[in-house]
């Protein structure tokens, strides 16, 4: 206790502190109690992608099944393929994920193919996304060899054989389809027409997505300052404590909690500062308490703001430490 009290000088106020040991302890306990209350909860807003409205978006269960996707093809019966059923045409066709994908074209014969799924689109900023790759566009192909994405009878995306350079590998395509977000059922369709030469249009991983904004609350963090720190002051310690070259007032996060409690301009604040510089600064414990006090000023102020009872307790404690 004496270490905290030692050589405490007079101040310019009428009642410096008459600081006795219990008051030092009271301040330390009070500050550490505040610090242990931790930071106030924080709200964080994040944007994520909601559920995909389309069923079997990677086609993995639809080869030979029309449970989700209606399929047609002039030459093959369906545009859906796996390596075993279609091959990969020397690496110019294949799945992006899994083993099934939609391969449109793929023959020099006239080929018309389609893939479609009816889906109810609720209100919102929905986006149609899919991965598209033009793996091959043989000589003679032109803009009549075309791949199309539609909602109902409206075209929302097209690409033709002359644009192979834009889709040299699976490339994400994203289309705003909020115009159809009316709570009704709509037909999402992909189709192609190729004539006279091979053009390979590849499609995989389709989705109808809605960005979702959510607000999450981060729980208050707890500072692991050991409460027993306040009980380790040796009563028998002499006043000739070797000082460390430590500055205790350089770290400050927000207004001083004592100012918040007592009010700016209160003469007791000068007593508190004198107590800090002349009493707390005399011991390692006092300097640690001061450091924590300023580092946690924001959290302490938040706790005082939220808890009137704590604020009243703090005011009483400060008045005991620095009576008027
Ligand atoms: Ca797939």
| Rounded-to-integer distance, Cα 279 and Cα 290, Å | 11
Q: Does 295 have pLDDT greater than 70?
A: yes
Q: Which helix (H) or strand (E) holds 108?
A: none
Distance 149 CA to ligand 1 centre (A): 18
pTM: 0.55
**Is-contact 288 3, C-beta < 8 A?**
no
Lowest mean pLDDT among 40-54, 71-85, 211-225, 257-271: 211-225
pLDDT for res 215: 74
Distance 60 CA to ligand 1 centre (A): 6
Distance 1 CA to ligand 1 centre (A): 74
Q: How far is CA 159 from CA 106, 173, 202, 245, in A?
A: 16, 11, 11, 72
| Rounded-to-integer distance, Cα 280 and Cα 262, Å | 20
More confident residue, 29 or 5: 29
Distance 94 CA to ligand 1 centre (A): 9
Residues with CB under 5 A from ligand 1 (ion): 58-59, 95, 97-98, 100-101, 204
pLDDT confidence of 32, banded at 50, 70, 90?
Answer: very low
Q: pLDDT per residue over 85-107, tens digit each?
A: 999 999 999 999 999 999 999 99
Give start and end residues of each alpha helix (H) in 20-77. Answer: 21-36
Residue 232 burial (CB count, 10 A)? 8
219 DSSP 8-state letter: P
Burial of 256: CB neighbours in 10 Å, binned 0-12, 13-18, 19+:
buried
Q: pLDDT per residue over 243-265, tens digit each?
A: 443 333 333 345 667 777 777 77
pLDDT for res 220: 59
pLDDT averaged over the chain?
78
Distance 216 CA to ligand 1 centre (A): 34
Pairing of strands 185-194, 146-151: antiparallel
Q: Which helix (H) or strand (E) holds 288?
A: helix 284-295
């Amino acid at each position: 206790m004496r270490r905290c009290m030692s050589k405490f000088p007079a101040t310019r106020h009428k009642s410096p502190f008459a600081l006795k040991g219990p008051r030092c302890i009271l301040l330390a306990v009070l500050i550490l109690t505040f610090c242990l209350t931790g930071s106030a909860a924080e709200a964080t807003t994040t944007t994520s992608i909601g559920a995909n409205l389309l069923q079997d978006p990677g086609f993995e269960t639809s080869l030979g099944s029309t449970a989700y996707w209606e399929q047609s093809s002039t030459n093959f019966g369906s545009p859906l393929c796996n390596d075993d059923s279609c091959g990969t045409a020397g690496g110019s066709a294949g799945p992006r994920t899994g083993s099934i994908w939609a391969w449109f074209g793929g023959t020099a014969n006239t080929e018309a193919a389609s893939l479609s799924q009816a889906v109810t689109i609720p209100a919102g900023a929905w986006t149609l996304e899919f991965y598209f790759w033009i793996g091959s566009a043989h000589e003679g192909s032109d803009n009549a060899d075309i791949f199309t994405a539609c909602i109902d009878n409206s075209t929302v995306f097209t690409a033709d054989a002359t644009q192979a350079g834009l889709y040299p590998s699976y490339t994400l395509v994203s289309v705003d389809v909020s115009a159809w977000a009316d709570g009704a059922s709509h037909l999402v369709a992909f189709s192609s027409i190729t004539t006279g030469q091979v053009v390979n249009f590849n499609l995989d991983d389709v989705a109808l997505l809605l960005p979702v904004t959510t607000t999450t609350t981060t729980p208050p963090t707890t500072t692991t300052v050991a409460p027993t720190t306040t009980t380790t002051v040796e009563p028998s310690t002499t006043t000739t404590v070797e000082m460390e070259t430590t500055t205790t007032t350089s770290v400050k996060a927000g207004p001083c909690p004592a100012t918040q409690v007592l009010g700016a301009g209160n003469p007791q604040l000068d007593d508190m500062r004198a107590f800090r510089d002349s009493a707390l600064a005399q011991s390692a414990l006092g300097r640690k308490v001061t450091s924590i006090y300023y580092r946690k000023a924001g959290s302490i102020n938040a706790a005082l703001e939220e808890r009137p009872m704590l604020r009243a307790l703090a005011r009483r404690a400060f008045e005991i430490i620095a009576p008027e």
